[in-house]
Amino acid sequence: MSARAPAAGTSAILLDIEGTTTPIAFVFDVLFPYIRTHLRAHLERYANAPEYEALFDRLRDEYASDQSAGEVPPPLVPAPSARRLASVASYLEWLMDRDRKSTALKELQGRIWEDGYGRGELVGEVFIDVPLALERWRARNIAVGIFSSGSVRAQQLLFRHSSAGDLTQYLSYFFDTATGPKSAPDSYQRIAAAMAVPPGAFVFGSDATRELDAARAVGMHTRLAVRPGNPPAPPGHGHQVIHSFDELLNE
């Protein structure tokens, strides 16, 4: 077991999203299918927007890296426009099929979800204990940050349009994989520096033991979220198990 962090010794909390604040089913059964349904129409709608050209440039760079690594993604076609967009969509679907943590893909997903939240077709789901815990921690001046493989845009949208209302008022920091891999200790060092809090004053909650291992390696206290829909805790993981945020600070 990791050492229990007393509530009085904690000045920052870092949270994963999928399986921690939000049911895994919402991500896999709602958010990801929404992307596949709307991907091609979204690309056609915004194909000529300047910011999408920059995104397409990043995709081409990632595509070249995939080829250099010996992978065989579907071909990217430079022209004409309709075939080009179709090939970009095929490559993006190929990345999603492999659950790739592509920065360009994550940005595009965030933009598609933004449309969905704006139209009221998506509502961010959070576990029932999350809003009250966030409110309680703010009252105690504990800074709360999010670290997720989804883009910062996607994170903010989920909490702004949550089933419990706008929860972004309780969240001070958002980090995605631009900070670094979630399984790399250096990522947690960067987050601690960005939040100006020593690692030992953090509690990090996640459903993934590899992420908790990385955070603990730099001195953070860790909590393994075993929520409804999550897999059971693996044997010998060494992290304190929680079933709700009421347990996160040993309150």
Mark whether 99 and 157 lie in a shared domain.
Answer: no
Question: Residue 48 is part of which domain span?
Answer: 28-118
Mark whether 74 and 141 lie in a shared domain.
Answer: no
The residue type of 107 is E
The whole-model pTM stands at 0.89
Q: Is residue 101 part of a domain?
A: yes
Q: Where are the alpha helices (DSSP H) in 69-208?
A: 81-97, 103-118, 130-139, 152-160, 185-195
Q: Is residue 32 part of a domain?
A: yes
Mark whether 239 and 216 lie in a shared domain.
Answer: yes
The tokens of 94 are what? 């190929």
Mark whether 131 and 16 lie in a shared domain.
Answer: yes
Element (H, E) at 59: helix 50-68
Q: Is residue 215 part of a domain?
A: yes
The tokens of 66 are what? 């995939």
SS3 content of the chain, % helix, strand, coil (to 5): 50, 10, 40
The whole-number pLDDT of residue 1 equals: 40
The tokens of 84 are what? 């080009």
The whole-number pLDDT of residue 207 equals: 97
All residue ranges of the chain with pLDDT < 50 are: 1-6
Q: For the domain that residue 95 is a member of, what is the CATH number?
A: 1.10.720.60
- Number of domains forming the structure of the chain: 2
Q: How many CA atoms does the CB half-sphere of 45 hold within 13 Å?
A: 9
Mark whether 99 and 41 lie in a shared domain.
Answer: yes
Q: For the domain that residue 202 is a member of, what is the CATH number?
A: 3.40.50.1000
Mark whether 38 and 158 lie in a shared domain.
Answer: no
Q: Is residue 214 part of a domain?
A: yes
Mark whether 89 and 202 lie in a shared domain.
Answer: no
Q: Is residue 91 part of a domain?
A: yes
Which residue's entry shows tokens 């959070």?
A: 126
The tokens of 235 are what? 């044997």
Mark whether 66 and 152 lie in a shared domain.
Answer: no
The tokens of 215 are what? 């955070």
Mark whether 62 and 129 lie in a shared domain.
Answer: no
The residue type of 165 is G
Q: Is residue 1 part of a domain?
A: no
Nearest-10 Cα torsion for 157, 159, 163, 167? -140
The tokens of 41 are what? 């129409």
The tokens of 95 are what? 């990345």
